[in-house]
Structure 1
Amino acid sequence: MDLPSSEVIKRELLGWEGVTIHEHDFATTRFYVNGIEMGHIHGDEIADLQFPTRISKRLISEGKVLPHHVIPKSGWVSHEIQKPEDVKAVIDLFYLQHQRLIRKKK
């Protein structure tokens, strides 16, 4: 039996150093590393992450993400989850964020 996209993402991220999750309203699961939000997913449909502007712009220009689906000029970016490859892409984005925030703490 295949797991829902959100469950695959949760299981992967929870295996990383310092990561915790918190369920939130609007069917949102927020992921934190050492108390800092890395980003969140809305069920099995979309992931939202906030990067520094230069990183967000680079990811958008490389076609890896879209500007945030509600507030496009906020620095937040979105990645839709529609197919299996999207799950890996979302995990890769969270990994980039995780590594950035782990380094920032040290």
Structure 2
Amino acid sequence: MTTTDSDITTEVGSWPGVTVGPHRFAGTEFSLDGREFGHLHAGWQVDVPFTRRLRDALVAEGAAAEHHLYPESGWVTYYLDSEAGSAGAVRLLRLSYLARVAALRRRADPPGELEGVDVAAELARLDPSDAVRTAFGLDPVEG
């Protein structure tokens, strides 16, 4: 694993409730409550699932590319080509994680370790575009 892989895996693996394991098509998978929210392919690429609306906003603003194999899906691909690439990958994985946390909270019994995750505050720290805020169901002005 490269330093970038290790940095990404260490960061993402430290988030509440995250499970890190091997991905079925090689690489490292990140899951929350048994559902994948992204995976890393050995130092060169990160694939991340979103709702189609959120994926469209991220692709339109250049934060990610359409998935390299399934461009019509909600998945995006992000290529790691520098240290800035590592930060961009972690940001996308965090957005996917927060979307999953929000979805779990809509259930009757979200995992207890997620109680301390403030989705709105975390999104504000990521400073998303109005289109991304809207795709998350937030008012673009209020956040």
TM-score for both structures, normalised by structure 1: 0.92
1:73 matched to which residue of 2? 72
Quote the Cα distance in structure 2 between the aligned partners of 1:99 and 1:24. 21
Quote the Cα distance in structure 2 between the aligned partners of 1:40 and 1:51. 13
Larger Rg: 2
Q: Does residue 41 of structure 2 align to residue 42 of structure 1? A: yes
1:100 matched to which residue of 2? 99
1:58 matched to which residue of 2? 57
Moved over 6 A (4+): none
Report the Cα offset of residue 25 of structure 1. 4.5
**Per-residue Cα deviation, 1:53-105 (whole angstroms, up to 9, x for no partner):** 00000000000000001111121100000100010000011111111111111
Report the Cα offset of residue 6 of structure 1. 0.9
For residues 15-26 of structure 1, what are the structure 2 equivalents within 5 Å?
15-26=14-25
2:82 matched to which residue of 1? 83
Secondary structure of 1:13's aligned partner:
helix
Quote the Cα distance in structure 2 between the aligned partners of 1:25 and 1:100. 23
Whether the 8 Å CA contact 2:26–2:41 is kept in 1: the answer is yes
Secondary structure of 1:49's aligned partner:
strand
Quote the Cα distance in structure 1 between the aligned partners of 2:23 and 2:97. 20
Report the Cα offset of residue 16 of structure 1. 0.4
Secondary structure of 1:93's aligned partner:
helix
Letter in 2 for 1:33: L
Quote the Cα distance in structure 1 between the aligned partners of 2:29 and 2:76. 15
Point out the structure with the larger strand share: 1
Whether the 8 Å CA contact 2:23–2:39 is kept in 1: the answer is no
Quote the Cα distance in structure 2 between the aligned partners of 1:26 and 1:35. 17
**Per-residue Cα deviation, 1:5-47 (whole angstroms, up to 9, x for no partner):** 1110000011101001111344321100121100111110000
Quote the Cα distance in structure 2 between the aligned partners of 1:105 and 1:47. 23
